[in-house]
Structure 1
Amino acid sequence: MTNLSFKENIIGSRNYKTISVMLLLFIGGGSFFFIGIESYFKIFDFSSIQYIPQGILMLFYGTLALTFGSYLLLTLVWDVGSGYNQILKEEQIIYIVRKNFPGKNSFYFFSYPFKIIKQIKLLKKDGLNPRTNILLVLKDKREIPLYPPQFLLKPTEMEKKAINLSNLLKVPVETKTVS
């Protein structure tokens, strides 16, 4: 981090969780779809699976899984959610840039001057799926997340980031724990 600016790249949907879920959906959905089709055409001997009702149900679930898998594949190809956070100390402004699905608004570009930032909030979520995130709290009480939900860092690393950011912006830090 320099004294004048700081830029942090954000990984979007191209992460191991999205890739593994997509592969599981394609493998499982393809299997269900194949067995549903097979129960109608009787190509192989799956005599325990009748087309009505098991085959139709397997076709439905297979089609659903393949549709969700295709959606995840498109988010991977387009790298939805990737971008960067940039803080320019000299200009007293924060930029948040993210990719979206292709089309009219394929990029989200937000800028916030330092003077409208009230505080930094470190949000900790406990439970089976613990998460931490840093939020910019504006004077009009809007809370802007700086990281996507799948951006996982150790809580100590997030705390260091929040403290460094609050020192740079000269605003207080609030820690909030949610169960």
Structure 2
Amino acid sequence: MNSATDTVLEQSVLGSRRLSNLLVAAAVSIGGIGFLLASASSRLGRDLLPVGHAADLIWVPQGLVMGLYGIAAVLLATYLWLVIVLDVGSGINRFDRASGEALIRRRGFRQTIEVAIPLRDIQAVKVEVRDGLSPRRRLSLRVQGRRDLPLTRVGEPMPLAEVELAGANLARFLGVPLEGL
């Protein structure tokens, strides 16, 4: 979502609250609970799962290993749900011509990360497009004396037309060249 006036351009950045992350966290949670129930079924000799016959598993080593897998999955699921609840990675890109400053803000685990850049230090808006096994489509700022500063969300690649349009609009607003196309 973008909002713009003559002097301010503000872009919101999607964080970890995406459908794909919710589905992965749910699948890992269900799998972890399933492994723990299979392990408990093996130890107690009673089927605690509605499918299969986990009580027939030998406790050592099968039931024990299933329990370890279950613990690992539950810990991973806890981490994934925490990242989703905190919405890590969400934030804003705010470009203010009146104050002459760009503010990039992202939510982290324990704190908010803010980077303020004078607009005069921005040399260009860079569009990175890489297709293949691990595709990348992102916008970044080329800043004098610093590494390129990414502006778009991490994870799912944005459609190419959307990246190009956002880059062109930002470059036009800032009055800098658009690189990478």
Segments of 5+ residues of structure 2 without an aligned counterpart are 48-52
Which residue identity lines up with residue 149 of structure 1 in the other structure?
V
Aligned length: 173
> Matched residues in 1 for 2:67 and 2:146: separation?
48
The answer to whether the 8 A contact 2:96-2:102 is kept is yes
- Tell whether 2:23 aligns with 1:20: yes
Q: What does the per-residue CA deviation read over 1:7-53, in whole Å, with 9 as the maximum and x for residues that have no partner?
A: 11122111111111110000011101110121111112535421122
> Are residues 47 and 101 of structure 1, via their aligned partners in 2, closer, same or farther at CA, if it must alter by over 3 Å?
closer
Q: Which runs of 5+ in 1 are unaligned?
A: none
Identity fraction in percent: 29
Range with bigger deviation, 125-134 or 161-170: 125-134
User: 1:55 is matched with which residue?
Assistant: 63
Work out whether residues 11 and 151 of structure 1, in 8 Å CA contact, stay in contact via their aligned partners in 2.
no
- Asked if 1:139 corresponds to 2:147, the answer is no
Q: Tell me: CA distance 1:124–1:3, structure 2 relative to 1, closer, same or farther (3 Å).
A: same
Q: What TM-score do you get using the length of structure 2 for normalisation?
A: 0.88
Asked if the contact 1:117–1:139 (Cα under 8 Å) also holds between the matched residues in 2, the reply is: yes
The residue type paired with residue 142 of structure 2 is V
Aligned partner of 1:96 in structure 2 is 104
The 1-side partners of 2:87 and 2:120 are apart by: 32
Whole-angstrom distance in 1 between the partners of 2:169 and 2:14: 21
In structure 2, relative to structure 1, the CA distance for the partners of 1:40 and 1:57 (3 Å cut) is same
- The answer to whether residue 93 in structure 2 is matched with residue 85 in structure 1 is yes
- Pairwise CA RMSD: 1.7
Matched, 1:120 2:125: yes
Q: Find the partner of 1:7 among 6, 10, 15.
A: 10
TM-score (structure 1 length as normaliser): 0.88
